[in-house]
Amino acid sequence: MPSLFDTLHKDTPNPLDNIEDILHANDWDFNRMGDNELLVTLAGKYGDYQLIFLWQADMTALQISVQYNLIISAHNIMNAANILMTINERSWMGHFEIAADTNTPSFRYTTLLNPENKQSYEQLESILDIALAQCETNYAAFSLLSADTAANNDTLPLALMQTQGAS
């Protein structure tokens, strides 16, 4: 006998289908790893990112992870912890983390979705835009931390400065 949850969510639309539409509209290549996982590699302004979308139907939750194509140097790990605290204090949505096994920085955001809601498509586009903008904003700090030289207290605050305009 099916559970009540299975009965109620049997026909719940998968938001990864909407993500695919967004990716197609931007001409981005992607790889659908299964019903609940989708991978995208794309070039940002400063470096490459790997986006991972995970759909958890039983919680109607979508997790978006944007991984930098950087590895934090072992001698910069303590500086990275301080930078993460500063960046996460400023972040209104989502958070940054560094995977302990790879020293790879990433931005992660999880949202509850009602996939039947027509606003979900626009919400997904906005979340994706915000995630990529957050990664671009903080790229300089993570780039410094991935360098072979130890980041110092003079350069890291400059990498975290919020700037306006472009040169």
User: Could you tell me the domains of the chain?
Assistant: 4-160 (3.30.1460.70)
Phi, then psi, of 53 in degrees rounded to 5: -110, 125
d(CA 85, CA 41): 27
**Per-residue pLDDT tens digits for 121-144:** 788 889 999 999 999 999 999 999
**Per-residue pLDDT tens digits for 96-122:** 999 999 999 999 999 998 767 766 778
Structure-block tokens of residue 145: 């931390």
Residue 160: alpha-carbon gap to chain centroid: 18
Single pTM value for the model: 0.83
d(CA 52, CA 43): 14
